[in-house]
């Protein structure tokens, strides 16, 4: 089968690889659609932290935002799964340790992460092996484009839940990338007054959100940092209202320092978010009902042959890991497409 393989920094190509065979408790999914994100771009450039601490190494097969159809079953998997449209959790815990049994399998020390950690192959391929415990069934209302937006949506939904919004609360989101924009959509759907902060917010503004390049002089009940700027986590605790909530989901390339005296003196609730795991089911519900529609975030859908261009930015005329702030942030891949196509 065809798969996009990264063999080293800035070296990636579509190769013919052995198709996966489902192991016990696994299915093989025919991938309908997969998204690429900042993590994937960092794997391509070599900046991703996991490459430097041994949690990942080249050659790598990326892709953790996906949906598809169950095409083959491993031993012990019910036949009912065959033909179902699914997406799934990126995080694959061991299912037996204290964290896994306590409902925190996404933090399992021995976890694999699809397309990210310990060599587990990703979804930028025609077929993807997935353990059945990680699967979520997609209703008909969630087509391929929405299905590949469930994983980033799950991250954003968990961030919004951690912000504990009440109707009418004012929320500041730092960073108008995919996660920031999805969080804005979920929060707006819950009745919050949403403000976005970023260096360039032309696209976010086109979606109708209040956008700023400087923090406006308003009381914010909650702040979500979805940026990669090392100075913004400190700004979040400084600018949130006393008694408010601060959520950290963005990661900077260097340590981002926060004065914990501010957290104590302002009686803040501060939460970190890793992964979409607990947010997948809620995201599927919200997309299926139409409460949130992430389709405007998708700039283009292309074939596997255009993945390198998507990751380096040549498809969008920017550099690796960056994007044109006037354009939608997300590029989708249709592994069955041989050449570039434009429909989403």
Footprint of Zn ion on this chain (CB under 5 A)? 37, 39, 93-94, 97, 100, 108
By beta-carbon proximity to Zn ion, the closer residue of 270 and 308 is 308
Give the Cα separation of 14 and 12 in Å (integer).
7
By beta-carbon proximity to Zn ion, the closer residue of 96 and 289 is 96
By beta-carbon proximity to Zn ion, the closer residue of 100 and 173 is 100
Report, in Å, the least distance between residue 241 CB and Zn ion.
Answer: 31
Report, in Å, the least distance between residue 115 CB and Zn ion.
Answer: 9
Report, in Å, the least distance between residue 254 CB and Zn ion.
Answer: 21
By beta-carbon proximity to Zn ion, the closer residue of 114 and 268 is 114
- In angstroms, how far is CA 72 from the centroid of its own chain? 26
Report, in Å, the least distance between residue 93 CB and Zn ion.
Answer: 4
By beta-carbon proximity to Zn ion, the closer residue of 39 and 344 is 39
Residue carrying structure tokens 């991703």: 48
Question: Per DSSP, what are the bridge partners of residue 224?
Answer: 173, 247
Report, in Å, the least distance between residue 249 CB and Zn ion.
Answer: 12
Report, in Å, the least distance between residue 220 CB and Zn ion.
Answer: 26
Report, in Å, the least distance between residue 309 CB and Zn ion.
Answer: 18
> At 36, which helix (H) or strand (E)?
strand 26-36
Query: Contact 232/175 with Cβ under 8 angstroms?
Result: yes
Question: Per DSSP, what are the bridge partners of residue 131?
Answer: 26
By beta-carbon proximity to Zn ion, the closer residue of 108 and 197 is 108
Report, in Å, the least distance between residue 48 CB and Zn ion.
Answer: 11
Query: Contact 71/29 with Cβ under 8 angstroms?
Result: yes
Which candidate, 66, 55, 53, 9, places its Cα nearest to that of 304? Answer: 66
By beta-carbon proximity to Zn ion, the closer residue of 27 and 108 is 108
By beta-carbon proximity to Zn ion, the closer residue of 235 and 331 is 331
CA dihedral of 68, 69, 74, 77, whole degrees rounded to 10: 110
Residue carrying structure tokens 């090392």: 230
Query: Contact 168/195 with Cβ under 8 angstroms?
Result: no
Report, in Å, the least distance between residue 116 CB and Zn ion.
Answer: 9
Give the Cα separation of 301 and 281 in Å (integer).
24
Count Cβ atoms below 10 Å from residue 279 Cβ, excluding itself.
24
The CA-atom distances, in angstroms, between 200 and each of 196, 216, 252, 262, 333 are 10, 15, 18, 29, 26
Strands (E) across 141-192 are located at 170-174
Query: Contact 29/68 with Cβ under 8 angstroms?
Result: yes
* Terminal alpha carbon distance of the chain: 23
By beta-carbon proximity to Zn ion, the closer residue of 42 and 169 is 42
Give the Cα separation of 190 and 162 in Å (integer).
13
């Amino acid at each position: 089968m065809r798969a996009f393989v990264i063999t080293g920094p800035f070296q990636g190509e579509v190769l013919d690889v052995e198709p996966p065979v489902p192991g016990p408790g696994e299915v093989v999914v025919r991938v309908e659609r997969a998204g690429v994100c900042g993590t994937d771009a960092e794997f391509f450039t070599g900046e991703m932290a996991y490459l430097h601490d041994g949690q990942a190494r080249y050659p790598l097969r990326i892709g953790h935002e996906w949906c598809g159809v169950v095409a083959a079953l491993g031993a012990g998997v019910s036949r009912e799964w065959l033909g179902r449209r699914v997406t799934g959790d990126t995080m694959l815990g061991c299912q037996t340790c204290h964290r896994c049994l306590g409902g925190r399998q996404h933090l399992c020390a021995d976890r694999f992460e699809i397309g990210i950690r310990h060599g587990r192959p990703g979804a930028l391929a025609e077929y993807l092996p997935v353990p059945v415990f990680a699967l979520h069934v997609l209703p008909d209302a969630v087509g391929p484009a929405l299905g590949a937006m469930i994983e980033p949506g799950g991250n954003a939904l968990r961030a919004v839940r951690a912000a504990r919004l009440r109707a009418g609360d004012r929320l500041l989101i730092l960073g108008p990338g995919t996660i920031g924009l999805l969080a804005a959509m979920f929060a707006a759907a819950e009745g919050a007054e949403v403000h976005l902060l970023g260096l360039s917010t032309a696209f976010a503004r086109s979606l109708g959100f209040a956008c700023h390049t400087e923090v406006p002089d308003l009381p914010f009940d909650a702040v979500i940092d979805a940026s990669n700027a090392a100075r913004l986590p400190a700004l979040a605790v400084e600018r949130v209202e006393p008694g408010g909530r601060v959520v950290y989901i963005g990661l900077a390339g260097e340590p981002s320092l926060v004065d914990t005296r501010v957290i104590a003196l302002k009686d803040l609730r501060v939460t970190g978010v890793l992964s979409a795991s607990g947010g997948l089911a809620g995201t599927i519900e919200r997309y299926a009902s139409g409460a949130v529609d992430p389709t405007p975030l998708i700039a283009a859908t292309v074939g596997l042959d255009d993945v390198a261009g998507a990751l380096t930015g040549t498809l969008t005329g920017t550099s690796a890991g960056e994007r044109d702030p006037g354009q939608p942030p997300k590029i989708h891949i249709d592994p069955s497409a041989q050449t570039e196509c434009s429909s989403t």
